Structure 1
Amino acid sequence: MMKKTIGLLAALTLTLTSAGAVLPASAEEYAYDSYSAETDGTTADNGTDTEEAQAEAEQFAQENFDPQYGKYLKSLEAAEETAAAKANSYNMPVYGEKGSGDTDKYTGYTYTHQDRFNNCEKVIGIDVSYFQYQIDWKKVKADGVDFAIIRLGYRGYGSSGDLVLDYRFEENIKNAKAAGLQVGIYFYTQAITTAEAKEEADFCIKYLKNYSIDLPVYFDIESVDYDIGRLDSANLTVAQNTANCKAFCDRIIKAGYKAGVYANPYWLNYKLNAAELAKKYPIWLAHYVTYTGYEGDFSMWQYAYTGQVDGISTNVDMNVDYREKTAAPAKPDAPDDITATLNGNTAVLEWTPVAGADKYEVYRYNKDIDRYIKVNTVVSPKVTVSATGTVIPYTVRSVSISGTTKVYGEYSDLVYISNKIISGLGAASDNKSVTVSWNEISTANGYAVYRSVHGGVYTKIATVEEPSYTDTNTEMGIKYTYKVAPVFGKSDDDATEGALSTAVSAILTPKQINTVSQYSRTSSAVTIRFGHVLGASGYEFALFNPVTNAYKTVGKTIASASMYTFKSLSAGTGYQVCVRAYSEADGVTSYAPWSRALKVATNIEAPTILKTTITPSNVTVTWDAVEGAVGYKVYRRSGVSYIKLADTTSLSASFTDTSKGSRSYAVAGYFTANNRNYTSPYSELCTIDGTLPSTPSFTSGSNSGGNVTLKWSAVPNVTGYRVYMYNNTTGVYDNMKTINAKNTSCKLTGIYSTAKFRIKAFRRETGGTVWSDASAVKTVKY
């Protein structure tokens, strides 16, 4: 026997009303909600287990200020009265009068529905909380119950107003869904501000995140039965109560759920603006009569709290949901285009949404019993399933729902799942085709190759037996992306594709450039010329290091270019340069092989001639040093030709040149690079009149006290004269003095011995200096 609960039970008073009457506040009826869940079918126990569950519920309710505790106690007394009535064969009391409507199997009474619901389907359901203890949901479903409103939690009616999760919420919602019931939620509020109402909504959203529900989340607003709760004490206005309802419901709707309001006639008529609420939210009416005369809008009626349902050991609230009758939905199509994306030991199956489908059932083949087992029911066309090394077939079927009518579509084609997805997918291309290859899967009977062009839809282009495929239906400059799926089955009739691999992209590779030549060079740059390649998006250039066999990319050009200049190079240095074409499309680049390495070299600067000296016996040219030069060559310009006169590693050269009159000289440096000799540009020409001045002759010479006076005959068209004296020690004539051409005499001092003198005339020109022969020796005695 269920134990008798004392205390609040003694205070319970039932007041009967006439049919359709609204109960006054002192006798208003209360409605409660609950949750459901899925397992293997929990069974409600009797005897000791039920007594333990009752004790647990009552202790939890008292410790956590459960506002539904009073109603629970009243339901216990009602249960005892029901049992006594059955034992004594007399009718149980009921609020209202029996009508001519439907006799309810769960209460034994006949209920009459309002005329406005004549054309509605009347769906029977319950609402539960932990006060129903442990529920056998399979029995509940078998007893004709189609839906359950499950309590998620409540706000304690004490002053602190703590939010409390119904400790059987998870159990109830899982098992109810597993048994096939439609599920909704309710939360018993004690919110006195809109902020608290939103907090209660967030509390519901938090615990609902792992579940899909069919019916609304209801905001249960009412007075605490046989006690004074914090909501009652707040004495809120109609506007404030209504605002709290809207704050909760709007928060729930924003999170993606449907929301409604639960209340009894007293609250709907006197404490809420029911008309305003009903415009936006479904109203769940709590009114324990055989016929309700409530005139406001509502769509669900909680007509009793004394229901007896198989699988539940306590009384339970009974509800009827009024749903518009609709024609049976059309049979939905089978899901199509199912793809699988593997992630470790799971796979995500996705398919094209089916028009008219409300749900999808997912089945997996169980080889131990040789049948397909339902593993999940989802609303969106996406589900996560297990994937192992064994090939497992899955199938999906669509479900269309109208009211309580379900119409099932055909099963989809099988999708075989194995976590041994295609791996090692790669792509290589030439200028005519793309070859994709991958690692073999031993359990696969073949492979399906899919291709996307320019990021478009993937289309199957081939089914092959070997782990590679060459695609020749290609064009230059187009991005091709490939995916491969293993194919299972022993024949074409039962062949089914597994999960698609990750993608690999490729474009055709341009041809290798065969024609490369050096076009020009300076001391810091080399310009090359190369041939065009059909379909190239541009060209890339590199310096090649033959020692390390490495390419250092230095630049790119557009497709129309045919020359490229390598810059910032060192003077007089050899390089090896390469060029290759590339093709680009949608972020993918394909490079042709590098061209052969072309040996090139930078030049050195042309030397600058500093001076040219012409004497009757030879010509001497002097120039500045050039960086990178290892030697120099001296040339005389003859017409358009250059005649080499000297080759030296010095910065000057003397040579014999018997040409007469004006002549032009040039110098070029040379160096060695890439095992070749290179010559710099010619220097600027040094042009000079090579006609020798006449030889001057002394006319007199004397020495007076160490002062020598020399005189000579004037020479026309000269710049000056230079006097030399013989050095008896060295045996050569030393330069003693240079005289301007205006003078034909000079004085030398400090000469205290007989001395020998000679004189030369010279002519300075832009290009250098031309000297006459030395005069005859003039001996001057001391």
Structure 2
Amino acid sequence: MKWIGAGIFAASLLALAVQPQPVKAEEQLDGVMGQSIEDEMDVVSAQNELNRQILKNATSQLTLDHMPMRGASSYTQAFWGASFTSVSDYTNGTYYHKSDLEDCELFNGIDVSWWQARGKKTTLIDWSAAHDAGIDFAFVRVASRDTSDGSIYTDTSADSHIQTALANDVNVGLYIFSQAVTEDEAVEEAEYVLDLVDQYNWDVTMPIVMDREAGRTSKKLKAGTLSKAKETAVCQAFADTITEAGYEACVYASYSWIRNYINTDELSDCGLWIARYNNTTTSNSKSGTPYADVAFDYDFWQYSSSGKVDGYAKNLDVDFWYKDMSDETTGLKMKSNTAGSVTLSWDATGDAQKYRVYRYDNASGSYKYVKSVTGTSYTDKNLAAGQVYQYKVRGQWTIGGTNYYSGYSNVLSAVTLPEQVKNVTAKAGNDNVILQWDAVSGADGYRIFKYDESTQQYVKLADVKNDTTGYTVENLEEDTEYKFKIGAYKQVNAVNYWGDYSAETSVKTQAKTLEKVQGFTVETVSDTALELSWEPVEGADGYRIYRLNTSTGKYGKIKTIKGAENVLYKNGSLSSATKYTYKVRAYASSNGKNIYGAYSDIKRADTKPAQIKGLQLTMKSSSITLKWTKQSNVSGYQIYRYNTATRKYDKVKTIKGAGTVSYTNKNLKKRTTYKYKVRAYKTSGKKKLYGSFSTAVKMKVK
């Protein structure tokens, strides 16, 4: 298709002085595209006048201001500025297109049904001749809904048209003459077409179209039958069903039908095919804003039903296809990799049919074609391990037997993984293991991993450069089995890519022993707690503390202390004024189980008595009697009285034995107040342990 800019010189425009075919109203037959568009403007006289004006001004550049016309209104400067032109070989007409579409590839096509078939079965079109004449695509009717009873029937010529067109490099789309008035009927029509595609296995690379128009005897769908919202919903239901099946969807309708009955802004994932038998799609060529009445996007324009195409004796519907191929392929990334392959993925480029993958060739200094794929991923195999490769991708469309391409993607640097590390050896010492392995070609370094029993995972120990093939693992436990793996890595853009880890290597260190706990002591802290301490044991993981059970005469474990340096333990929640006996030993993990050192010497200590409770005072004559609650296991009690002169408490009595819980303080002065407190004590070896004083209580002698 030849495109012509609106502002070229008259010498070039002479070639365009051709007479367009008159736009004639056609009777609509059931299921045949190309309805009569009664409200279309007749542009024939204006077009003829324009061509005469072009010839008249052939020796001078055309002005874009309102061009004078004879017998017709002139086109406005705005219209010229908003348009580009082409000449149809099938109508000898000049056509004006939105300048928004000027960057698109413009393809020629036809739409056909059983009216172009012998006996409604065998195509009458010589598709080879049609293709040679420039026809690159065709929409084939495959089904219709009856305008009276609403039944759907198959166009019996569809397979003949489609197979012959495809055999002659003509791209094929499908359409159904729709009479759907509900979303359910729209879905039914879409599923009917999809079933036919599956049945015949058609190679459909163009949209599947819902043809919205009223038939000549239509009793079902008429202009205005549905509200604009309802018509839009019906179209969307059809489109959703088609796109969910993986095909492109489109709606065909006249200029008037689209403007009056479809909310184009609300259609989603659905193209438009506008039918307007005119030399432009807009009514605003002579006044108003050009193309404002067709502000919606459309992919196809059926511009005439009187096309003369080689390979068919009668008239045909002829169409323009505005195919946008300006997008670049984006999102190229490395999805996965192995030592001998990389898997690439990228974002879909519009409706690209295929993608071509290219890899940089160092020998030639250029990118070489690798593979063409239909999806958005590709695995490049048989590559060298530990190497960086550069790729780029672009989308491809095959239309009319010719390949067209999108822009290239960004360049991606992808890396193959290094080979697996092999021949790992391990030599065990008392607390270390020496690892060695074979060098890996292309590796930038190695990582040593050790198995962690607690997490049941391999954890990183260290990284070494590629000039090192040995590593000593230190600070290990004795008599313990260890497992190691080693991985080689390739670093690209600060990212490490890892080859397969080596086979697991197991080794056992020598056994270890623990010394007896020394320096063990038990000190009294309070009436409910004792504090134990001891010296650290080298190589210990921790300690276990045991206490004598006086009822059974056996020691029971009361606490496990983790950490070799944790050598203090406070044993709380004990009974007051009670003797406890302890011993301690160190432990360490060895070969998956604990080993123990010898027990410490046995140590004992008493808790302090508890605080005296229930102290009460009674007075009689010149004496005060104190009474309190008895405590068990104590050696006795001490009574203290407050000295007002020294402002201190003086001990006035020591009572031996736990059973005596009263004391009378005699010969007291009358009209004098006395204050007392009491505490218990327990004799432990050569020292006394004292409990806390009771709450002080006072009384006045009368």
**TM tier, shorter chain?**
0.3 to 0.5
TM-score (norm 2): 0.41
Rg larger in 1 or in 2? 1
TM-score (norm 1): 0.37
